[in-house]
A and B are shown apart, each in its own frame.
Chain A
Amino acid sequence: MSSFLCNLVLSCVLTTQPVTPLDELYYGTLLYDYYQEQYEDAMIQGLVAEKQARMGDNPVRFEIAKGSFAFANGMYAYSLDTFSALENTELSALDKQRLAFHLAREYFRREDWENLKLQVDLIRLDKTWLGRQLVHPEVEFMRSEIAIHEGDFEQARSILDSISEKNSLRAYGLFNLGVALRHSGISNQQFDGIEKNNFEKSFAIFVELSQMPVFSADAQDIVQRARLALAQLRFEAIDSQPMQNENALEDEFLADNEIDLPPAVKIRADKRKRWWSVSKMWPFGSEDKGLGDDFESAIANGSTGSASAELILRSLPGTGRYRNLALATYASMAMQDADHDTASRIWQSLNNQEHWTAITASARLGLPMSLEQMYDDSGTNSGTVLAAYQQAEQMFTGRLSTLQTISQQAEDATWVGEFLSAFANPEQSDETLTEAMLMWRQEIGHADWLQWLSTESVHGLLADWLTLKEMAQFLTHMPVTLESLNAVSKEQKRRAGAARMILNTQGMFVKRDRQIERISTLSSSLEYLKTAPSEFSNKWMMAISNEEQSEMSRQLSAMQDAASLEKNERKRANLVSRVERLRGLLFFDLVDNKSTRLRSIGKQLEETSVVLSEIEESLERVNKAEEVFDNGVAIDFHIFETRAQLIGESVNDALADRQTLLAKEIREGMQREIRQVEKYLLIARIAIARTTDQLAINDEGQIDQSELQNSW
């Protein structure tokens, strides 16, 4: 009722909600960090709660959270240790499922299919009240991967169909299924029976994915990849007996670009190559609207051969990270179909791009090749072709020289360090870095040029390198932090000392002793008065009197003493009797007010006890503070310094290791590209020789013809 009135009449806030237990609040803080993907912070909060014994009655959930945060933070061994330790403890049914889920993720990461299956089988979700089975998309995704691994493609498909169509995990799973089916379809180079069936199923899956509605950035990426995969499949259909080497390359391409893990799993570095991880490095545009029409018509017609492959390629986005790849592939196909005009136009547009990439390098060779073919058809303009080849040769020579210079520079550790700073963090506002980045771009091209450096393993190394740099920075500032804390502790110690001095000089200890004495007196008086009957005696009267009454009593005693000295007996008796009467009056007054007085004494006793406890707490606090500062904190600082120093050494070692490996990668990448450019250069030079000869023959022919005409 009161609540109702409060709601109706007053706009008051009801504070009747239960207070959240402290461990709930601390658990919530972990989740707050976790939901913001601040895994390290979440993990630290969990460890702090553990150290401060704030985990309440359910420490298991903190442990599970800790393992999960460690997993997300890339600490897989720590995560597995945490979960494995929990396996031997008493867990609720829900916690058992949670644990199984986290262990499954770890086994999935390790590709330990046997253990993964065991853990996934432990996860059994309930049904809704309508009887619909609840589904966890990531669990179902892992189930489908198990089925794919076991070759049970039907089962994999059925599992994936249980995931919502608006969940990108379904799309990732389908893509992987498509790749697996395609693999199975061409594994023995026979396109009949089950294999052929799987090949067609693979094609159907990529068609489905390419027509999937774009509901997220991930979905859009998968749609594009599916289109690229379709083009690849069409390509294979064009040439049923491809060259062995080329086929091997294509196989490797599709196999290596299998999507195994969704981004939600957040595993950065893995041995297996994943297409999806590349997308994290190269953000793509979304301006491919309206480009799907050609694709749709190609699918609708069901046509095979170069025309449909072209249409599929043409349906790829006009912008974004697949644009150049699509253009280059399209140009190659145009050359194959003897459409050299189109090919040359595409190569030209790729040539116009400012930055050097593997594709633009190929375009530099592709353009004169197309022109040569085109002019061969018309039989003119060999000079233009020669000029184009010479320009390409010039570019390749320049490029080769730059690469060789950089390759030599990559031997220098300082150079590598600066290079990594610029490359790993190009967006940093630091002016030095920006300048360095500009320099690299001018010298060696756009960051995209370093595609061999943008591989997943190198990306992982770079990410580690950056993390280690941040750690080193943190550890560099650690002594300053410790110094500040030390200064705070010293100041607190000084204040504690000063407080102690004040306590001494202001006689706090004397005051405390006085209060103790007073309490003792009051306690004994109270005890006596509570038990002793009222009696007309000095002892009783003094015990119950207040200060005024005590004074009065003392005066009466003095008067009695004075009266006893009177020599006149009559006068003495008279005086004594008057004093006695007055004492009697005082006695009856004391008796009348006995209960009030007892209460007053009790209150005084209580108040004095409070004062005493406050004094004692202050004294204890000062003593404790001094003790803590003298012993505990000073030792901790020393330990901290030592620990920070040791970690700092490990960090520096790890940085050096990564720098060495990255330098090796840079050099090897340079060498790979040098080999490629040398090959292109050789082709260009051969072409120059051929075109020069052709030009000479043409000139000779023209001379002969003019001579012939003159002779006529």
Chain B
Amino acid sequence: MIRIIIASFLITFITLPLASEQGLDKQMEDIKQSLIELKRDLIVLEEDLLYPASTQVSVFLSMDVGEFFKLDSVTLKINGKELSHYLYTERQINALYRGGVQRLFIGNVKQGSNRITAIFVGEGPNGREYKRAATTEFEKTFEPAFVELKISDSTAKYQPEFVVSVSS
């Protein structure tokens, strides 16, 4: 009797497979696929509609090594106007360290000359608070503009480097 009671405790961990599990999995997969494709098309539509190529600017943030700088936040300004302020979680920073690239901002700017400024706040060498700004001017044409904010290490200076590059 006692052993049966013990076995009954243990048996509670055992799972019972459902008969039609395969059919359900396929149904779920089909729905997921349809919905993902719908979301994809919605994103493309939104981008086309809200950010036409003639005014579109996308800002990306990437990190190379990052031993001399631990990122806390980034503030993005275009033509003096603050457009984005982003605080990072450990998980996001880890994703950046591992080679991920964050699309920090997508929006519209006027055609012609524009000025973009990114303010990086975090922890620099020796654990000190570190705040740096990087700025650049770029010419907006009829094509979409892509701006990359890159944080990398300068081994020569033992300092982080903040580079802004623009392509279209």
A and B co-occur in one complex? yes
Q: A residues within 8 Å of B by Cβ? A: 7, 13-15, 17, 19-20, 22, 24-29, 31-36, 40, 43-44, 47-48, 51-52, 73-78, 242-243, 245-246, 249-250, 252-253, 256-257, 269, 271, 273, 275, 278, 325, 328-329, 332, 335-336, 358-359, 362, 366, 451-452, 455-458, 460-461, 464, 467-468, 471, 474-475, 481, 485, 488-489, 492, 617, 621, 633, 636, 640, 643-644, 646-647, 650-651, 653-654, 657-658, 661, 665, 676
- A275 nearest in chain B by CB position: B13
For A451, list chain B residues within 8 Å (CB): 12-13
Separation of A44 and B41 alpha carbons in the complex (Å): 9
- A456 nearest in chain B by CB position: B15
CB of B44 within 8 Å of the partner chain: yes
Separation of A51 and B92 alpha carbons in the complex (Å): 26
Q: How large is the interface on B (under 10, 10 to 19, 20 to 34, 35 or more residues)?
A: 35 or more
Cβ–Cβ contact B60 & A51, under 8 A: no
Checking B21, B28, B30 against A74 with a beta-carbon cut-off of 8 angstroms, the contacting residue is B28
Given A243-B3, A640-B45, A257 contacting B28 (CB threshold 8 A): no
Which residues of B102-134 have CB atoms within 8 Å of chain A's CB atoms?
102-103, 134
Q: B residues within 8 Å of A by Cβ? A: 2-18, 20-21, 24-46, 49-50, 54, 60, 62, 91-92, 94-96, 98-103, 134, 136, 142, 146, 148, 150, 152, 156-157, 161-167
Given A17-B163, A32-B100, A488-B49, A358 contacting B32 (CB threshold 8 A): no
Smallest beta-carbon distance A234→chain B, Å:
13
Separation of A245 and B7 alpha carbons in the complex (Å): 10
Question: Which of B37, B45, B148 has the most A CB atoms < 10 Å from its CB?
Answer: B45
Separation of A44 and B44 alpha carbons in the complex (Å): 10
A640-B42, A650-B31 known; 11 new pairs, CB 8 Å cut-off, are A31-B95, A32-B95, A35-B98, A36-B92, A36-B100, A249-B10, A253-B14, A481-B42, A485-B49, A617-B142, A650-B27
Smallest beta-carbon distance B13→chain A, Å:
6
For A26, list chain B residues within 8 Å (CB): 101
For B10, list chain A residues within 8 Å (CB): 249-250, 253, 325
Please name the 9 residue pairs, one residue from A and one from B, whose CB atoms are nearest each other, closest first: A28-B101, A32-B100, A35-B95, A249-B7, A455-B15, A456-B15, A47-B40, A31-B100, A273-B15
Q: Is the interface of B mostly helix, strand, loop or mixed?
A: helix
Cβ–Cβ contact A35 & B42, under 8 A: no
Cβ–Cβ contact B5 & A362, under 8 A: yes
Separation of A75 and B35 alpha carbons in the complex (Å): 12
Checking A27, A35, A633, A644 against B94 with a beta-carbon cut-off of 8 angstroms, the contacting residue is A35
Cβ–Cβ contact B38 & A47, under 8 A: no
- B23 nearest in chain A by CB position: A657
Cβ–Cβ contact B36 & A13, under 8 A: no
For B92, list chain A residues within 8 Å (CB): 32, 36
Checking A36, A636, A658 against B45 with a beta-carbon cut-off of 8 angstroms, the contacting residue is A636
Checking B16, B34, B49 against A633 with a beta-carbon cut-off of 8 angstroms, the contacting residue is B49
Given A13-B162, A76-B29, A269-B21, A51 contacting B40 (CB threshold 8 A): yes
Cβ–Cβ contact A20 & B30, under 8 A: no
For B26, list chain A residues within 8 Å (CB): 77
Task: Offer 7 A-B interface pairs, CB within 8 angstroms, sorted by A.
Answer: A29-B102, A29-B103, A35-B95, A51-B41, A74-B28, A457-B21, A640-B41
Separation of A481 and B100 alpha carbons in the complex (Å): 29
Separation of A269 and B21 alpha carbons in the complex (Å): 9
For A643, list chain B residues within 8 Å (CB): 34, 38
Smallest beta-carbon distance A641→chain B, Å:
11
Checking B4, B16, B20, B31 against A455 with a beta-carbon cut-off of 8 angstroms, the contacting residue is B16
Checking B31, B101, B148 against A651 with a beta-carbon cut-off of 8 angstroms, the contacting residue is B31
Separation of A329 and B39 alpha carbons in the complex (Å): 52
Cβ–Cβ contact A269 & B25, under 8 A: yes
For A253, list chain B residues within 8 Å (CB): 7, 10-11, 13-14
For B25, list chain A residues within 8 Å (CB): 76, 269
Cβ–Cβ contact B100 & A19, under 8 A: no
Separation of A540 and B99 alpha carbons in the complex (Å): 69
For A464, list chain B residues within 8 Å (CB): 24, 28
Checking B6, B16, B45 against A457 with a beta-carbon cut-off of 8 angstroms, the contacting residue is B16
- B146 nearest in chain A by CB position: A22
